[in-house]
Amino acid sequence: MQKSNDARIRAVERLPTPHSLKEKYPLTDGALRTVATTRRAIGRILHGADSRLLVVVGPCSIHDPKRVFWYAKGLAKLAVRLKDQLLIVLRFCGDKPRTGKAWTGYWSDPHMDGSCDFAAGWMESRKLAAEILDLGLPLGCEFLDAAHYQNIDDAISHAWLGARDVGSQSMRKLASGLSVPVGFKNNNVAGVRLALDAMSVARESNTFVSSNDMGQLCSFTSMGNRLAHLIHRGTDAGPNYDPESISDSVHQLQDRGFLARIVIDASHGNSRKDHRKQAGVIEDVVGQVMAGSHYIAGIMYESYLKEGSQSIPEDLKTLIPGVSVTDGCDSWETTERVLREVHSRLSGRPR
């Protein structure tokens, strides 16, 4: 009898389970302490009990584990020096959301050639995450695909839903069960409304179907994520890091009984997709903190070893090492200068 399902499926391949990946690349006791300590600290920052500024900084997306680790080593040292004013978390994004057909990130296509070697992407990412955590540097990532995220869910200290996904009912429900503080970016067109609606779902208990670490489909009932928070990333109409936009969102957050603390994404709409403007956004945001604003919890900042971005060439041997293949990033030198300046300014705050 002819099958009526999978009519357009060319091939099916079994993949390693999250359990097997975690057994192959387990987290050390030190790494687990870094994760647990940072999750608690981020929660305190979001509640205003810790006066430090959360800084989620790093490459737009992973594509070269070796050089990401080089970047992480420098950032780990800087994080220690600035820890009294800044809680620094490395962007660890293996998923890349796309509007059309394009490279979707290291977790799904690590060789950047359309071969979609998921197993290699997952294993190398898991190994890299464990190595970075052993430096004492916590990780944050965009929550885009639960199947990818679950392979490193024990290694992450902060997660966020992007502008495209805050409208997804399934992603909102899944976010309610994540073990980390979760940010919700405003939508490109609909502003903060979709993000606030997403938070209203994620903060409450939900029941949803997903796979467990053994790869078995299960029904999960979450407790709700009370550390759901808003991220301003600008819109198609322009930036929203200004005091008026923040004040408007704070009133809406307070009206709904949500955490009235906002993280500002210095990239995307707030920099009008020009990485060179990120430093100016950060300077303005820190100025608001220095002027007495209690509603800014942190910043997000796209940065890598070298400035700018590059397209993925047909001949991968011509890739420029240390340059982003997705959004443009500030160089390491610029990043270090910017974060040191932020630290210096915040050190002058009255206690």
**Which domains can be identified in the chain, with CATH numbers?**
18-346 (3.20.20.70)
Paired tokens of 262: 């906002």
**Cα–Cα distances in angstroms (integers) from residue 181 to residues 78, 164, 239, in the given order:** 23, 19, 24
Displacement of CA 7 from its chain's centroid (Å): 36
Segment-wise mean pLDDT, segments of 10 residues, the chain, 351 residues: 84 96 98 98 98 98 97 98 98 85 92 96 98 98 96 98 94 98 94 95 98 97 98 95 98 98 97 96 98 97 98 95 97 98 92 59
> What is the model's pLDDT at position 351?
59
Question: Is residue 34 within 8 Å of 138, Cβ to Cβ?
Answer: yes
- Residue 210, by phi and psi: left (phi above 0), alpha (psi -120 to 50) or beta? beta
Instruction: Identify residue 272 by its one-letter amino acid code.
Output: R
What contacts 20, CB < 8 A, 6 or more positions away? Answer: none
Antiparallel, parallel or unpaired: β 86-91 and 229-232: unpaired
Please classify residue 59 by burial: count the beta carbons closer than 10 Å to its beta carbon, then call 0-12 exposed, 13-18 middle and 19+ buried: buried
Spatial CA neighbour of 86 closest among 293, 277, 286: 286
Paired tokens of 101: 């057909």
